[in-house]
Amino acid sequence: MTATTARLNQTLVRPQLIPNDDTGIRHFIGVEGLNKSQLESIIDKAMGYFDEDGRLINTDELSGKTVMNLFFENSTRTRTTFEAAQKRLGANVLNLDIARSSTNKGETLRDTLWNLEAMSADMFVVRHSASGAAHYMATEVTPNVAIINAGDGWHAHPTQAMLDMLTIYREADKPFDELSVAIVGDIKHSRVARSDISALTTLGVRDIRVIAPKTLLPKGIERYGVLVFDDIDKGVADADVIIGLRIQNERIGSPLLPSTSEYFKMYGITEQRLKLAKPNALVMHPGPMNRGIEIASSVADGSQSVILKQVNNGIAVRMAVLALAMAGQRQRQRQKDHFKPYN
């Protein structure tokens, strides 16, 4: 990691943390800059939401709290699992219809957020096309409302990374520091890839491979300590985990691939390629999947796929992040009240 990257990570992490506390969070903007114990605490918290039979439980940790979901980009899994998580925690849930909101009448993001804060919002879950939107909200606009980043531009998707970590933790047959993880696909435009690489590195994974055609690899990706392959057969050899990524057509802007059929031929996750990995290798994908382009249906639906388990784990992780951030906001408020001068 370069010195510049380290400084950026610390800038990112600062508003997430509670002053004078090494573990608590009050926003969840990204996994970059969080330490191993902080990521493990999210995993541990998420594990506590499963009963002895592996089913999700309900709690009252957000009872009386109002959570607003602000999705400025389309979403299915992320939005619905966040809403499921909020309701399982007992929160009052409001979904802002962006298409019909005043943002389409020229209202700025700042004014929209201030108006929603005035409605006694306790937490915003935000997805936005602009990288850094969640950080901007937590530092400049509504710092007293817990901000949860549900994906911002090309930058980060921290709850997806943590549900991936939870899935690996629950399903892999060895600890993080013994794993080989291969990430295949559109690395260049994927916020999931960035967040996964950061979380895997922090949790001790030493063998992280990124596999893509050169047109879908960001410049300087090697500085993150990953091994780079443009040959998928070599990249997935003996891997314990294979994570497929969606081709981000809406972010590419210009053709970077000759054709989808050619991409599947060269980089699709097929049964034949899966055989090159470890016999019990896990297959993951953040969704939505493009079957027959990024991954073969026989692999996506096969015995080594944990893709649907990722969805269920996403509810538990989002419950954990929501509960931890709200607890952090309460602790932050207590600290402010403690040091408030008397008149």
Q: Note down pLDDT in tens along the chain; length 343 residues.
A: 566 556 555 555 667 877 656 667 899 999 998 999 999 999 999 999 999 999 999 999 999 999 999 998 888 899 999 999 999 999 999 998 776 666 656 788 889 899 999 999 999 999 998 889 999 999 999 999 999 999 998 789 999 999 999 999 999 999 999 999 999 999 998 999 999 999 999 999 999 999 999 989 999 999 999 999 999 999 999 999 999 999 876 544 445 566 888 899 999 999 999 999 999 999 999 999 999 999 999 999 999 999 999 999 999 999 999 999 999 988 877 776 655 555 5
What is the Cβ-side half-sphere exposure of residue 146, based on CA atoms within 13 angstroms?
A: 30
Contact predicate 12/135, CB 8 Å: yes
Q: Which pLDDT does position 19 carry in this prediction?
A: 63
Q: How far apart are CA 98 and CA 75, in angstroms?
A: 12
Contact predicate 197/226, CB 8 Å: yes
Largest CA distance in the chain: 74
Structure tokens that stand for 242 in this block: 């294979």
Q: Which pLDDT does position 212 carry in this prediction?
A: 95
Q: pTM (2 decimals)?
A: 0.91
Contact predicate 284/307, CB 8 Å: yes
3-state DSSP percent of the chain in helix, strand and coil, to 5: 45, 15, 40
Superfamily designation of domain 158-305: Aspartate/ornithine carbamoyltransferase (3.40.50.1370)
Contact predicate 96/73, CB 8 Å: no
Q: Where in the chain is the domain with CATH 3.40.50.1370?
A: 3-153+312-338, 158-305
Structure tokens that stand for 275 in this block: 């055989």
Helix count and strand count (H, E) for the chain: 13, 9
Q: How far apart are CA 300 and CA 306, in angstroms?
A: 8
Contact predicate 309/167, CB 8 Å: yes
Q: Which CATH entry fits the domain spanning 3-153+312-338: 3.90.76.10, 3.40.50.720, 1.10.3720.10, 3.40.50.1370?
A: 3.40.50.1370
What is the Cβ-side half-sphere exposure of residue 325, based on CA atoms within 13 angstroms?
A: 29
Residue 154: Cβ within 10 Å count = 18
Q: Which pLDDT does position 340 carry in this prediction?
A: 57
Give per-residue burial for 268-302: e unless 16+ CB within 10 Å, then b: bbeeebbebbbeebbbbbbbebbeebbbbeebbee
